[in-house]
Amino acid sequence: MAPGAPRDARGRGAHVTVGLALWALMACDGAFAGYRALAGRTGRLRIEAAVRRAMLLGGLLGGAAGLSLLLAVLATVGPTPSLVAMGGRLLVPYGVFGGVVGLGFVARVVDVVDVRAATSIVVFGPLSLLRPAWFVGWAGWYALGEPTSTVVIAAIGVAVVLLVEQALDRVLWPHLLPDPP
């Protein structure tokens, strides 16, 4: 780590902590995108296996996209102080979004149709609509006044996050997640 680079409480570089946290949030968002890609695609009553497959595929795709982005940043510009600071600031709103989605999935564990329907209507529906504006808005807000390289990397990162859902929904879904027998 470069001299003067920020450190977290454990003494490791903050860029490692921020990078891994953003990667984990991208994997979780990918799982949510997988769930949304499945929504409405099957008329079956028992779709638990399909939901698990969709979320696993989404999580893997989101994690792979996040890891690719992280490695590309490290290979090109490296963990600049402004990039690490912006990533740390983005952990709060992105973490809140991920936490609400996670609580919605915890609520879906209850095997009551009304609870599952309520989470879809009250949590997942609005968050699906809010998601692009939430990610673009917070990244744009935190990018104000940052160096151009940080803004470009943030824009690419948001685009990658949003493209995971498109890849699942339009390209991969028909081929990789067929309706279970």
pLDDT of residue 170: 79
Signed CA dihedral, 23, 25, 28, 29: sign only: negative
Is residue 58 within 8 A of residue 37, CB to CB? The reply is: yes
Range of the domain at 170: 14-176
pLDDT mean over 83-102: 90
**pTM recorded for the entire structure:** 0.80
Give how many domains the chain has, as a whole number: 1
pLDDT mean over 14-43: 85
Q: Has residue 8 been placed in a domain?
A: no
d(CA 32, CA 25): 10
pLDDT of residue 47: 76
Instruction: Write out pLDDT tens, residues 38-75.
Output: 876 766 677 778 788 888 999 999 999 989 988 888 88
The tokens describing 38, both together, are 């499945």
pLDDT mean over 133-153: 89
Q: Has residue 6 been placed in a domain?
A: no
d(CA 99, CA 112): 22
- The SS3 assignment for 110 reads coil
d(CA 67, CA 20): 9
Other C-beta atoms closer than 10 Å to the C-beta of 4 total: 7
Provide, rounded to the nearest whole percent, the portion of the chain with pLDDT above 90: 19
Model confidence at 5, pLDDT cuts 50, 70, 90, reads very low
Q: Has residue 63 been placed in a domain?
A: yes
- The SS3 assignment for 39 reads coil
Q: Has residue 9 been placed in a domain?
A: no
